[in-house]
Structure 1
Amino acid sequence: MRASVMALPFRRTTAAAVPTMRWHRRLVVCLLSSLTLLHAPAAMAVLGGDEATIQEDQKRMKAQRRLAVAGTFQVHEISSPDGSTVKEFVAANGTVFAVVWHTRLKPDLEQLLGSHHSEYAAAASEAMKRPGIKRGVVLRRGDVVVHSSGHLNAFVGKAYVPSLIPVGFNIDDIR
C-alpha cells in the first residue's frame, strides 16, 4: 500500500513575500499615524506675527494660557490637556519673536514659522541630503534659527528671528 500525500493548505512564505508583508505593516502604521495627526490640536503661533494670534491658539488647542512679563518682553505659555506646551515670546511692540514647543505630536512648522517656513524648508532639505540619522537639527538660514529634535511622543524645539529680538534680551532665555 502506498501512502498518499495530501497537500496541506498552508501557504509558504518566500523571501520575496516578507518585504511585502513589512510594507503592508508600514502602510497601516502610516495611515493610523495620519489619522492621529488629523485630530491633534494645531498650534498657530506665527513667528514674526502679531500677538493677537495667541488667543486663537489657546482656543484651537483647547488649552490654558499663562502670561509672564519680564522687562521688555512677555511669554505666553499655552498648555494643552495632553501635556503639550507652546511658548510664544512677544516683544513690547506686540511681535512674536520666538516660539518654543514641547509636544507629543510633531507640530505644524509651516504654521509656527509663518513666512519663515520657506527658509527652514530649504535648510532642512539640504540637511537631509547629508548621510546619517537626524534626531536633532539646528538650522540657521536667512533671518531664522530653528532648533528641533524629537522621537515618538516627544517633540521639542525652538525658533526665533534674530532681527526681531528686543535689545538686551539673552538668546539663552528662549527655552
Structure 2
Amino acid sequence: MMRSLITGTLCLALLAFTTPAHATLGGKAATVDTDRTRLKARSAAQVDRVNYTVHELTLDSGTVAREFMSSDGTVFAVSWQGPQRPNLKQLFGDSYFSRFQTENKSTARIRMRRAMAVTHSDFVVRTGGHSGAFWGFAYLPQTAPGGFPVQVLQGGAQ
C-alpha cells in the first residue's frame, strides 16, 4: 500500500513538472498532432516545399492555421486566416506569446480596430482583420530557410 502511494505521488509530481510538447514557434515539429488536437482541427495536411514543409490545420471554426517547418524540423513561422483567431498562445508558445502581449499592451483598448504588429530582429508578427475575417502570421527571421519568401505568409498561399 505504501509503495503504491509513493509511486502514485512520484508520477503526479513528474507530471506536474513536465510541459506539454507541441509544435510552437521556434520548437520542434515532432508533435504537430498535439496542435491539431489542442486547436480542435478537423483536418490536417502536409505540403512539402524545396526547403521547408507546411502543416495545414483546418480548425472547427473554419480558420486555417499553417505551421512552417525547416528541414531540421524547427517551426520558423505560423500563419492563420479565417472567421476566428486561433489560439495564438498555442501557436506562438509561451515565450513569444508573452512578448507579443507585452508589445501590444499599450494599445489594448484600440487593438480591435487596427492591425497589430511586432517587429524585432528575431521575432515578427502581423495580425489584423475584423469579425468573420481574421488573418495573421508570425515568423523567426533568423531560423527561416535561406530565400524563404515572406509573402507566402501574407497571402496564405504556400
Give the counterpart letter for 2:101 in structure 1: A
Cα distance in 2, alignment partners of residues 80 and 70 from structure 1: 23
Contact 1:72 1:92 (8 Å CA) reproduced: yes
Matches within 5 A, 1:26-105: 45-60=23-38, 61-105=40-84
1:156 aligns with 135
Cα 1:101–1:132, aligned 2, differ >3 Å: closer, same or farther? Answer: closer
How many residues align? The count is 131
Residue 54 of structure 1 deviates from its aligned partner by 1.2
Give the counterpart letter for 1:123 in structure 2: E
Cα 1:123–1:164, aligned 2, differ >3 Å: closer, same or farther? Answer: same
Cα distance in 2, alignment partners of residues 122 and 156 from structure 1: 20
Give the counterpart letter for 1:83 in structure 2: G
Cα 1:164–1:124, aligned 2, differ >3 Å: closer, same or farther? Answer: same
3-state SS in 2 of match to 1:117: helix
3-state SS in 1 of match to 2:142: helix
Contact 2:65 2:86 (8 Å CA) reproduced: no
Q: TM-score, normalised by structure 1?
A: 0.66
Cα distance in 1, alignment partners of residues 129 and 147 from structure 2: 31
Residue 82 of structure 1 deviates from its aligned partner by 3.4
Cα distance in 1, alignment partners of residues 27 and 143 from structure 2: 11
3-state SS in 2 of match to 1:63: strand
Whichever of the two has the greater Rg, that structure is 1
3-state SS in 2 of match to 1:164: coil
2:145 aligns with 166
Any idea what the Cα deviations from partners look like across 1:72-98, whole Å, max 9, x if unmatched?
100111113432110010000000000
Residue 130 of structure 1 deviates from its aligned partner by 9.6
Structure 2 portions without partners, runs of 5+: 1-21
Structure 1 portions without partners, runs of 5+: 1-43
Q: TM-score, normalised by structure 2?
A: 0.72
Is residue 2:79 matched to residue 1:122? no
Q: Give percent identity, aligned residues only.
A: 34
3-state SS in 1 of match to 2:84: coil
Cα distance in 2, alignment partners of residues 143 and 164 from structure 1: 8
Contact 2:58 2:64 (8 Å CA) reproduced: yes
Q: Point out 4+ residue stretches in structure 1 off by more than 3 angstroms.
A: 129-134
Cα distance in 2, alignment partners of residues 169 and 106 from structure 1: 25
Residue 143 of structure 1 deviates from its aligned partner by 1.6
2:8 aligns with none
What RMSD, in angstroms, separates the aligned Cα atoms of the two structures?
Answer: 2.3
Give the counterpart letter for 1:135 in structure 2: R
Residue 142 of structure 1 deviates from its aligned partner by 5.1
Contact 2:125 2:138 (8 Å CA) reproduced: yes
